[in-house]
């Protein structure tokens, strides 16, 4: 589930696996965190709503957490983390927004520059122009009026639909987020990266991770 750690950055396979480092941090620090997530999807469904058995929202031990994690499906981890007391709030910067959030403490931000979901899937010029901006300071600052602390910066690699997205002209706001975060989690989500990347792009989850790691190193996040 956890693939590697580099400083305060943790790489996981699937997005809901971020609960492992999130809960470890919450146990260690004895406090709740504010998560900012960069993602194609919103991931705002209710915990356990697709499971016949319900969990206990217990992260007091690694074993207890793994019992709940086995019952969770994708898109349910934010609601779980809020209800368990791991998070105090969650802000999701996504490319789409058509699913109501299961918890009112989740804020979904979809910048007006994004065209319709179908245009994004088709890779229109408007969609490509938007996708290239996802780490630009102006783009991020519009949706994050104040950087909350203590902060978890959470990145799903399907947030990046084209290679240019990881080469912003002005990454200063993103680097500040990374610098101020207590923890940075990155989820590979290999299949979603493959399905969502624009036609003609050769990127994959591993290449995106390598590019992101280089960018994060500019904030010192990989060495702490």
**Structure confidence by residue, pLDDT tens digits, 164-175:** 999 999 999 999
Q: How many alpha carbons lie under 13 Å from residue 212 in its C-beta half-sphere?
A: 30
Tokens of 169: 């002209």
pLDDT over 80 at 157, yes or no: yes
Q: Which residues pair with 106 in a beta bridge?
A: 90
DSSP-derived secondary structure letter, 163:
G
Spatial contact of 130 and 111, defined as CB atoms under 8 Å apart: yes
| pLDDT score recorded for residue 221 | 67
Q: How many alpha carbons lie under 13 Å from residue 58 in its C-beta half-sphere?
A: 10
Spatial contact of 146 and 36, defined as CB atoms under 8 Å apart: no
Q: What are the boundaries of each domain within the chain?
A: 2-217
Give all strands (DSSP E) within 46-159, no chain letters: 87-93, 106-109, 151-156
Mean pLDDT of 187-208: 97
pLDDT over 70 at 222, yes or no: no
Q: Which residues pair with 89 in a beta bridge?
A: 34
**With a threshold of 0.85, does the pTM exceed it?**
yes
**Structure confidence by residue, pLDDT tens digits, 111-149:** 999 999 999 999 999 999 999 999 999 999 999 999 999
């Amino acid at each position: 589930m956890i693939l590697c750690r580099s400083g305060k950055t943790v790489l996981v396979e699937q997005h809901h696996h971020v609960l492992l480092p999130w809960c470890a941090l919450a146990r260690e620090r004895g406090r709740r965190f504010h998560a900012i997530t960069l993602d194609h999807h919103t991931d705002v469904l209710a915990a356990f709503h697709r499971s016949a058995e319900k969990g206990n929202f217990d992260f007091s031990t690694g074993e207890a957490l793994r019992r709940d994690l086995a019952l969770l499906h994708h898109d349910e981890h934010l609601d779980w983390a809020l209800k368990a007391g791991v998070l105090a709030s969650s802000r999701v910067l996504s490319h789409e927004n058509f699913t109501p959030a299961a918890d009112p403490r989740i804020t979904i931000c979809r910048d007006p520059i994004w065209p319709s979901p179908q245009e994004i899937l088709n890779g229109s010029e408007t969609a490509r122009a938007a996708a290239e901006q996802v780490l630009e300071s102006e783009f991020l600052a519009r949706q994050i009026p104040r950087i909350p602390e203590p902060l978890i910066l959470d990145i799903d690699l399907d947030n990046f639909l084209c290679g240019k997205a990881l080469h912003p002209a002005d990454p200063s706001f993103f680097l500040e987020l990374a610098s101020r975060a207590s923890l940075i989690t990155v989820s590979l989500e290999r299949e979603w990266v493959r399905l969502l990347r624009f036609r003609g792009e050769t990127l994959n989850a591993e290449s995106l991770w390598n590019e992101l790691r280089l960018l994060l190193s500019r904030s010192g996040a990989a060495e702490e």
